[in-house]
Chain A
C-alpha cells in the first residue's frame, strides 16, 4: 500500500490534538482518564510519523524500480502503482503467472522499507500448510 501521507499526517495531528494533549494535561492526576492510552497513542503516532517520513524518502525510488521491472511485461501500464497493480491483476486472473514474481518483489520491497524482521514461516511436521 502506498501510504496515504496527507490523510495519515492529518490523522496523526488530530489524534495528538484530540486524544493525547488533553490526556497529557491530566497526567500526574491519579483520576486522569485515558492517561495510559495517551502514552500508547503517542508512541504509535510517533512510529507512524517515522514510517511516513521513510516513505516520503524512499517511496519514489521504490515506485520507479517497480515500474521499470514491470514495463517489459506491461508496457505503459507499468507506470503508477494502481495502473500496474490492476494490469498485473488482470494477468494473474487470466492465468499468466509471470505477474507473480513482480508482485512478490514489490511486496518484498515495500515490507523491507519498514525496517522490521522479515516474515518467518511457521513450520512443523504438518503437511498441506502453504504459509
Chain B
C-alpha cells in the first residue's frame, strides 16, 4: 500500500469515547506500508473494532491513499489496547497524543 506520509490529520470518523474527566486524549493511527494486503487490512479493522465492511474499507482506503488513518480516539489505556491489538496483526499502528 504505497502512500504519502506528510499530510494534515484527516477528519476523524471514529468511535470517540466521552471523557468525563480531563484525562488527556490519544489517537490510534494506522500507517501505510507496502506489504500489508488491502483485503487483510479491511479484515483486521472489522475484527478489532467490529466495524461494518464498508467502514473498514473506507479507513483502509484512507490508509492506502493518504498514508494514514486515525482509527480510534480515547484515553490512554483503551488507545494502547487497540495499538497492541493492531500490532498483533502486524499492522503499522501507533499511539499519538491527540492534538
State yes or no: do A and B come from one complex: no
Interface residues of A (CB under 8 A from B): none
